[in-house]
Amino acid sequence: MRILTIVSGEYGLRHTDNIKKNGPHSWLVETWRAPQILPPVIDYPEDYLPKEFPQVDLILSFAEHRGVAELLPDIAQRTGVKAVIAAIDNEAWLPRGLARQLRGWLEKINVDCVTPKPLCSLTEKDYGVTRRQRIEYHSALISEFATLFGQPDILLTMDPLTKTIMHARVKRDAVCGCARYVAENLVGLSVEEAEEKAGLLHHHFPCMAAMGKDPDFGDTLMHVSGNVLKDNISESLKPYVQVNYILPGTRSE
């Protein structure tokens, strides 16, 4: 698969580096650094684009400027791309209304587009857009990418006697590499402390999703991202964590 990542800062570069390092050797990844300054309305996209782009199958937009979304249809046509993933880890970089428009623009030129919010909500079949809404998609290219990168999926192996984590295998990493970092640092911990530690590790990585309250979630996207990871860890720990229940009106022995 031929991939073009669009970056404008450290956020996108870290994602790109992780894909290059841990993605299949058969994936060819090229990068275009978008302009950091763009006008509020782009009348002539060609003024901000290079004369030539590589021909690719999938575009990953990690741009930190909303104007890049307006350039994506032109980039898609120049690259011959079949699918686009436009990350939303900050509402300022790609507002929800513009994300809907982008999906519509690309649909008109027969290009599949997903706008996962946050990026680590992406699975092989759907992605998150609000706290309660997920959107299904049908793109073999996006599914191929999301098999390895997207919503974290970590498989834990526990020692049933000591109730400690013996091994953590990353089935699907976050695009930024956070899930891999968390998994490496969970080994040796007790099952009782692993979920809380996973949340701290997520923040310390650090997660670069927005820290302002997002209107679609009523929470910061950094916290939403952390909860996605913690929920995955919690599911693996359930058989090994003892839950104590307290009944009102009774006394403990």
Q: Closest Cα to residue 63, out of 9, 2, 102?
A: 9
Q: Distance between CA 165 and CA 189 in Å, rounded?
A: 6
Query: Per the omega criterion (within 30 degrees of 0), is the bond before 45 cis?
Result: no
pLDDT at 48: 83
| Residue 238 CB neighbour total at 10 angstroms | 9
pLDDT at 57: 98
How many alpha carbons fall within 13 Å on the CB side of residue 185? 17
Q: Distance between CA 17 and CA 29 in Å, rounded?
A: 10
pLDDT at 42: 81
Model confidence pTM above 0.85:
yes
Amino acid in position 253: E
SS3 231: helix
pLDDT at 46: 83
Start-end of H helices in 86-220:
96-108, 140-148, 178-186, 191-204
Print pLDDT tens along the chain (253 aa).
999 999 999 999 999 999 999 999 999 999 999 988 777 778 777 888 998 999 999 999 999 999 999 999 999 999 999 999 999 999 999 999 999 999 999 999 999 999 999 999 999 999 999 999 999 999 999 999 999 999 999 999 999 899 999 999 999 999 999 999 999 999 999 999 999 999 999 999 999 999 999 999 999 999 999 999 999 999 989 888 765 555 566 565 5
For residue 132, count CB atoms less than 10 angstroms from its CB and return exposed for 0-12, middle for 13-18, buried for 19 or more. exposed
Q: Are 54 and 76 in contact (CB under 8 A)?
A: no
Angle between helical axes of 221-237 and 178-186 (0-180°, round to 10): 40
Q: Domains of the chain by range and CATH?
A: 2-148 (3.40.50), 153-239 (no CATH)
Q: Are 29 and 3 in contact (CB under 8 A)?
A: yes
SS3 33: strand
pLDDT at 43: 74
